[in-house]
Amino acid sequence: MKERTGFIGLGNMGLGMARNILKAGFPLTAYDIREEPLRAIEGMGGERAKSPREISERARITFVVVLNYPQIEQVLLGEQGLQGGVRAGDVIVLMSTISPVQVKELAQKLENRGVQILDAPISGGKEGAEAGTLSIMVGGDKPAVERCLPMLQAMGKNIRHLGGVGSGMSMKLVNNLLVAVNGLAVAEAMTLGKRAGLNPQAILEIIPKSAGDSWMFRNRAPQMVSRDFTCRGELDILVKDLTYILEMGQALKVPLFLGAVAREVFQVASRMGWGKEDDSAVVKAVEMMGGQNQR
């Protein structure tokens, strides 16, 4: 019989991920502060919990996909947090992007209870979460990783164990540095091409067959042209991740010039009220600074 799984955070990414765990045949108990996604999980045969603590009382492996570090702290260590019901041998898998230092601190706080923390941040956006094709970068104890592997395989197609606790987050921050810098480059390129009088559709057709192609171009430039900024990867989350990236660079004495510029431009977009839109909305900040109208 497959092991009961806990899942906390049924948002933009989490709901699709939890659905795929259920589709793979794992009994699942979920928690979220919102009613609608909990009803969706119940409709697929899952169970709901009233608190993170209730999750840890029912499941021995729990996946956490919430927004930021304060939410993770509340989920793990709050009054109704997971720590209230955990037992020796339990595994908590943190899939939200936080800093490697924060992951290690949380792992230390729970190790005396016999609880293991894995950091397993994800890449692939909402589309990958729904399709079960995420890239999952895992750090932590190898036996715990192997125990969680069947659930991870339900959510992703490219799963890599990178080393000890914190290594998954380090890899995710390396990835998101490229995401941010490349996303900003796409925004600048599309704005430049438009100002030069090029047909945006021609840019969309030619670049994927040229050396300037990238995943970010193929998945973000069409949204910049159509002005469809429906959230697939929230802009404010990328601002948060860029802060972690620059802190990591500072701690390791690695200069991150492009990362610093990217954070400033993404912050401008956030301050203009576009933070809850897709990260492709950074193009509006580039256009604004270039004197173009945005909508």
Question: Catalytic positions, please?
Answer: 172
Tokens 């996604």 correspond to what residue?
37
Cβ pair 6, 58 in contact under 8 A: yes
- To which residue do tokens 């919430």 refer? 66
| DSSP type of residue 83 | G
Structure tokens at 213: 């192609």
Q: What is the bridge-based pairing of β-strands 122-123 and 91-94? A: unpaired
Greatest Cα-to-Cα distance within the chain, rounded to the nearest angstrom: 64
Q: What is the CA radius of gyration of the chain?
A: 20
C-alpha of 266 from chain center: 17
Burial grade of 87 (CB within 10 A; 0-12, 13-18, 19 or more): exposed
Q: Where are the alpha helices (DSSP H) in the chain?
A: 14-23, 35-43, 52-58, 69-77, 100-111, 125-131, 142-155, 167-195, 200-206, 215-226, 235-252, 257-269, 282-289
The two three-digit tokens of residue 256, written as one number:
């991150």
Q: Count other C-beta atoms under 10 Å from residue 125's C-beta.
A: 21
Look up residue 107 and give its two tokens. 């792992």
Structure tokens at 281: 């909305």
**Cβ proximity of 71 and 49 under 8 Å:** no
Residue 185 CB coordination number (10 Å): 16
CA atoms of 79 and 62, how far apart (whole Å): 18
